């Protein structure tokens, strides 16, 4: 075998070796499958709202419960106590012992649907409104969403989600220069809802 042919063969082998892992790269379908696997995810959240007009962010804290095929309980504890339930049917707020549906119009409704899609890894819903770009591996990934729907373009420049087995951080960059950072530091998975949680989703 000539030296030139051996060099070409070596080059081709190196290229094939480098390119081959790309065929097995972590993709959106794998991410969605990974995030949708647990039946229930619970944990604390810390949300920071960074406004251009304020030097310090507005911070709220609480807990959440995400149930596959049911929705999201968003239990705000500080600076005030207020419970919300977000499902495909809409958003409701707890009033005493009952849940009261909230009006679902325009940008507010889209943001509620977006919250549920982001945390549950609903890639089909996200790709309807955003152009996604995913980097990393199953253990450490970053998903950047660039809005293509006109309504969302008026609200967001981009959304960045980071995580591993579960979503750990969401950053929403708004067109007006404000941004929101949501951190989920200690999420835990479970096989089933508690009796109280089942009652909240059914109510």
Is 1 part of any domain? no
Is 27 part of any domain? yes
CA 178 to CA 137: how far, in whole Å? 29
Is 13 part of any domain? no
Helices within the chain (DSSP H only) = 3-23, 28-36, 106-120, 123-129, 150-153, 195-202
Kindly report, residue by residue over 163-199, the tens digit of the pLDDT. 999 999 999 999 999 999 999 988 999 999 999 999 9
Cα–Cα distances (Å) from 6 to 2, 11, 12, 16, in that order, read: 6, 8, 10, 15
Kindly report, residue by residue over 13-69, the tens digit of the pLDDT. 333 333 333 334 688 889 888 888 899 999 999 999 999 999 999 999 999 999 988
Q: Is the pLDDT of residue 99 over 80?
A: yes
What CATH number does the domain containing 102 carry? 2.50.20.10
Q: Report the domain count for the chain.
A: 1
Report the pLDDT averaged over residues 140-150: 90
Range of the domain at 195: 23-202
């Amino acid at each position: 075998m000539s030296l030139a042919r051996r060099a070409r063969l070596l080059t081709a082998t190196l290229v094939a070796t480098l390119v081959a892992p790309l065929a097995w790269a972590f993709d959106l379908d794998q991410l969605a499958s990974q995030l949708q696997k647990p039946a229930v995810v619970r944990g604390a959240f810390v949300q920071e709202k960074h406004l251009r007009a304020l030097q310090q962010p507005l911070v709220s804290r609480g807990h959440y419960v995400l149930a596959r095929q049911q929705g999201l309980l968003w239990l705000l504890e500080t600076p005030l106590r207020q419970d919300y339930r977000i499902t495909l049917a809409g958003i409701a707020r707890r009033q005493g012992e009952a849940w009261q549906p909230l009006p679902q119009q325009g940008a507010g409704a889209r943001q509620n649907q977006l919250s549920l899609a982001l945390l549950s890894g609903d890639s089909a819903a996200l790709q309807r409104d955003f152009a996604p770009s995913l980097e990393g591996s199953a253990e450490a990934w970053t998903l950047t969403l660039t809005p293509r729907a006109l309504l969302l373009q008026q609200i967001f420049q981009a959304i960045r989600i980071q995580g591993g087995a579960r979503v750990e951080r969401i950053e929403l960059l708004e067109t007006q220069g404000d941004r929101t950072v949501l951190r989920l530091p200690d999420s835990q998975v479970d096989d089933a809802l508690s009796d109280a949680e089942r009652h909240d989703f059914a109510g």
